[in-house]
Amino acid sequence: AQSVTQLGSHVSVSEGALVLLRCNYSSSVPPYLFWYVQYPNQGLQLLLKYTSAATLVKGINGFEAEFKKSETSFHLTKPSAHMSDAAEYFCGCLGGSEKLVFGKGTKLTVNP
């Protein structure tokens, strides 16, 4: 069975600063990995996904993530934070089963 750990339940950055949200996974088979964003009172929206093609994945809204097998990581980054990036972010892992397993989420605050 797979598992996901998101380091840091809350991350706070200044507008224009680098955003780094950490995700480590555990899977017995090569995984598919996802980052989702949830704005207040809304459902989950896919930011980007890794499906065994390029290890550096670019997503929407300027986000990207790099799959590092040796570190079992899939950290999410954005060079310059915007106020509209304030939301909760979830890392997900799809292993050998049909079940998508999520981390506990990281709430991003962007300060002016």
Partner 1 sequence: DVKVTQSSRYLVKRTGEKVFLECVQDMDHENMFWYRQDPGLGLRLIYFSYDVKMKEKGDIPEGYSVSREKKERFSLILESASTNQTSMYLCASRGSPMAAVLTHLQTPNYGYTFGSGTRLTVV
CB of 28 to partner 1, least distance (A): 17
Cα-Cα-Cα-Cα dihedral sign, residues 47, 91, 34, 14: positive
Q: Is 67 in the site for partner 1 (CB under 8 A)?
A: no
CB of 15 to partner 1, least distance (A): 25
Pairing of strands 100-102, 3-7: unpaired
Q: Is 77 in the site for partner 1 (CB under 8 A)?
A: no
DSSP symbol at 99: P
Q: Are 18 and 81 in contact (CB under 8 A)?
A: yes
Q: Are 88 and 67 in contact (CB under 8 A)?
A: no
Q: x/- binding map, residues 30-59, to partner 1, per CB under 8 A?
A: --x-x-x-----xxxxx--x-x--------
Binding site for partner 1 (CB under 8 A): 6, 9, 32, 34, 36, 42-46, 49, 51, 90, 94, 98-105
